[in-house]
Homo-oligomer: A and B are copies of this chain.
Amino acid sequence: MSVVQLTDEERSTWLSTLEGWEMAEGKDAIQRTFEFGDFIEAWGFMSRVAILAEKQDHHPEWFNVFNRVEITLTTHDADGLSLRDVHLAKAINAL
């Protein structure tokens, strides 16, 4: 899968299809925050994301506290956003 940075045009096209995701501040990355009823629900979600990520060989930067999960996606190999991030974000949204 491409590890080339998205062009400006690709970014705006893709971002408009990724519900809930927005550009991170000060970083060429996209992010989304998810909130759940409690830690067990948040953890269940994270477990599903973990397996998706490992299958895609593309891993999130993520933060959790209790029922909140903040996910940031960027592609270190591309030094910025790539299609890998788009694919993982789409898969996460589909959960």
Residues of A with Cβ closer than 8 Å to B?
39-40, 43, 47, 50, 53-54, 59-66
Contact = CB atoms under 8 A, between A and B. Distances in A.
Contact of A62 (B54, B59, B63): B63
A29 B55 CA distance: 35
B66 A63 contact: no
A62 B61 contact: no
8 contacts: A39-B59, A40-B54, A43-B54, A59-B66, A60-B65, A61-B63, A61-B64, A62-B63
Contacts of A65: 59-62
Nearest to A61: B65
A43 B39 contact: no
A39 B53 contact: yes
Contacts of A62: 63-65
A54 B64 CA distance: 13
Given A59-B65, A61-B65, A50 B43 contact: yes
